């Protein structure tokens, strides 16, 4: 199987869907001639032409409005945001129009809004955020956050084929750092199904996106001490795989909830509530949250490192919880 970067996997997934289905098209800022801010759509305009790779003004609300309208006519737009930090510029379109289309009159709205999110790249407070929870809170939207190249390709293809609107967060730190074997043949990864990233017996770490690799690195350190972490990669935050969450807690009886998003209102709080509702009697210790701090993302590299969850945080809290 060929080895692909996380970025190239997403690029191939969109390309293959455009080849497969003539109703799929891309729209966004600088995605055509320039090939996208991170080059995800590099070469697309040469293959598919300006009718299917549409450069737009810097107007996120207009991009989503045009994509939404096209989706109501049977098209399947893929709208790129240069940075997902700018989703608020289209918040009304996304939350009050796109998310409610099916509820209001049964209309499918098969559009994908995708782009880079996340920190650890020293992008500062306007280019490093994890804004996924704004949209997890909005009924009618699916929210996807892949961690691996295999999942990135399979999930973008599944998102494009879905008849519901999908917000697809691509962690920019992973774009060119993650590389793995990805099948050449067509495949999809189902939305709403978590992945067992590492099997373990002593503690569960439930996480997603770039934090999967923080958890995996911590697991290697702890394994030398005889502590076996089980790591669940959520893949999709809406819908959440409640069954996978409950199953891992019933197995290990202790759980760490790890995410790069800020603490207050993060997905860890929601998952903790699910565990209390569905697996409380299986807990042998307190639910532990490891998250970013309630602050804008610092620009300064040392401050950003302090702000973000780290391997050492997971190792420390896992030791403490294991001994509880």
Show which of 181, 206, 239 is a domain's final residue. 181
Q: Is residue 268 part of a domain?
A: yes
Rounded distance, CA 136 to CA 236, Å?
10
Tokens in use for 305?
């490192």
Q: Does 188 fall in a domain?
A: no
CATH number at residue 209: 3.40.50.920
Tell me if 164 sits within 8 A of 109, measured CB to CB. Answer: yes
Q: Each residue of 127-138: b (16+ CB within 10 Å) or e?
A: bbbbbbbbbbeb
We report the CATH number of the domain holding residue 127 as 3.40.50.970
pLDDT tens profile 131-171: 999 999 999 999 999 999 999 999 999 999 999 999 999 99
Q: What phi-psi label fits residue 164: left (phi over 0), alpha (psi between -120 and 50 degrees) or beta? A: beta
2 φ/ψ angles, rounded to the nearest 5 degrees: -70, 150
237 and 288 belong to one structural domain: yes
Bridge partners for 195 per DSSP: 233
Which among 122, 155, 181 is the end of a domain? Answer: 181
Q: How far apart are CA 210 and CA 108, in angstroms?
A: 31
Buried b (16+ CB within 10 A) or exposed e, 230-253: bbbbbbbbbebbbebbbbbbeebb
174 and 250 together in one domain: no
The verdict on 221 and 174 lying in the same domain is no
Same domain, 244 and 282: yes
CA distance 281 to 260: 28
Pairing verdict, β 195-198 and 229-233: antiparallel
Q: Is the pTM of the predicted complex or chain greater than 0.85?
A: yes
Give the separation between CA 153 and CA 155, rounded to whole angstroms: 6
Give dist(CA 162, CA 144) in Å, integer: 12
- Are 152 and 114 in a shared domain? yes
Phi then psi for residue 189, to 5 deg, are: -105, 120
Residues 17, 158: one domain?
yes
The pLDDT value recorded for residue 32 is 97
Per-residue pLDDT of the chain (324 residues; tens, 9 = 90+): 779 999 999 999 999 999 999 999 999 999 999 999 999 999 999 999 999 999 999 999 999 999 999 999 999 999 999 999 999 999 999 999 999 999 999 999 999 999 999 999 999 999 999 999 999 999 999 999 999 999 999 999 999 999 999 999 999 999 999 999 999 999 999 999 999 999 999 999 999 999 999 999 999 999 999 999 999 999 999 999 999 999 999 999 999 999 999 999 999 999 999 999 999 999 999 999 999 999 999 999 999 999 999 999 999 999 999 999
Residues 202 and 258 in one domain: yes
pLDDT of residue 306: 96
Question: Is 187 part of any domain?
Answer: no
Q: Are residues 278 and 216 in the same domain?
A: yes
On whether residue 189 sits in a domain, the answer given is: no
Does 84 lie in the same domain as 30?
A: yes
Please check whether residues 37 and 155 belong to one and the same domain. Answer: yes
Instruction: State which residues form the domain around 288.
Output: 195-322
Query: Which pLDDT belongs to residue 37?
Result: 95
Cβ-Cβ contacts under 8 Å for 138 (sequence gap 6 or more): 94, 95, 99
Own/partner pairs, 7-12, CB within 8 angstroms, 24+ separation: 7/38, 7/39, 7/40, 7/170, 7/175, 7/176, 8/149, 9/149, 9/150, 9/152, 9/153, 9/182, 10/40, 10/114, 10/152, 10/153, 10/156, 10/170, 11/39, 11/40, 11/41, 11/42, 12/153, 12/182
Domain-terminating residue out of 148, 181, 214: 181
Q: Which of 102, 127, 137, 171 is catalytic?
A: 127
Helix (H) or strand (E) holding 205: strand 203-207
Report the pLDDT value the prediction gives residue 146, as an integer from 0 to 100: 98
When computed from its CA atoms, the radius of gyration of the chain, rounded to whole angstroms, is: 19
In a domain, 186, yes or no: no
When divided into structural domains, the chain yields a total of 2
Measured CA to CA, the distance from residue 247 to residue 24 in angstroms comes to 37
Q: Over the stretch 268-284, which tens digit does the pLDDT of each residue have?
A: 999 999 999 999 999 99
Residue-level pLDDT at 2: 78
Same domain membership, residue 136 and residue 217: no
Asked if 259 is an active-site residue, the reply is: no
DSSP class of residue 121 equals: S
Helix ranges (H only) for the chain are 6-20, 44-48, 60-72, 91, 101-105, 132-136, 149-161, 211-223, 242-252, 267-278, 301-307, 311-322
Same domain assignment for residues 161 and 23: yes
């Amino acid at each position: 199987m060929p080895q692909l970067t996380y970025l190239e996997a997403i690029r191939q997934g969109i390309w293959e869907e455009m080849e497969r289905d003539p109703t799929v098209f891309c729209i966004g800022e600088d995605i055509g001639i320039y090939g996208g801010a991170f080059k995800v759509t590099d070469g697309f305009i040469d293959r598919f032409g300006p009718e299917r790779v549409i450069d737009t003004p810097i107007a996120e609300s207009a991009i989503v409005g045009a994509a939404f309208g096209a989706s109501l006519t049977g098209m399947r737009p893929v709208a790129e945001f240069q940075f997902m930090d700018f989703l608020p510029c289209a918040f009304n379109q996304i939350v009050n129009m796109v998310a409610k289309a099916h509820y209001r009159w049964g209309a499918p709205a098969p559009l994908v809004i995708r782009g880079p999110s996340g920190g650890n790249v020293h992008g500062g407070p306007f280019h490093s955020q994890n804004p996924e929870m704004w949209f997890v809170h909005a009924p009618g939207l699916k929210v996807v956050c892949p961690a691996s190249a295999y999942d990135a390709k399979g999930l973008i293809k599944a998102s494009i084929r879905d008849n519901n609107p999908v917000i697809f967060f691509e962690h920019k730190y992973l774009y060119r750092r993650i590389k793995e074997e990805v099948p050449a043949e067509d495949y999809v990864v189902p939305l709403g199904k978590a992945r067992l990233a590492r099997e373990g017996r002593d503690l569960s770490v439930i996480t997603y996106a770039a934090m999967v690799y923080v958890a995996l690195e911590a697991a290697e350190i702890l394994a030398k001490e005889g502590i076996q972490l089980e790591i669940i990669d959520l893949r999709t935050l809406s819908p959440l795989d409640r069954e996978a969450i409950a199953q891992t807690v019933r197995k290990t009886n202790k759980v760490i909830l790890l995410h790069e998003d800020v603490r207050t209102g993060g997905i860890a709080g929601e998952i903790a509530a699910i565990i209390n509702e569905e697996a409380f009697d299986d807990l042998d210790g307190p639910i532990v949250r490891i998250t970013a701090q309630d602050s804008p993302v610092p620009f300064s590299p040392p401050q950003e490192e302090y702000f973000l969850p780290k391997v050492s945080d997971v190792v420390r809290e896992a030791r403490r919880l294991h001994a509880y």
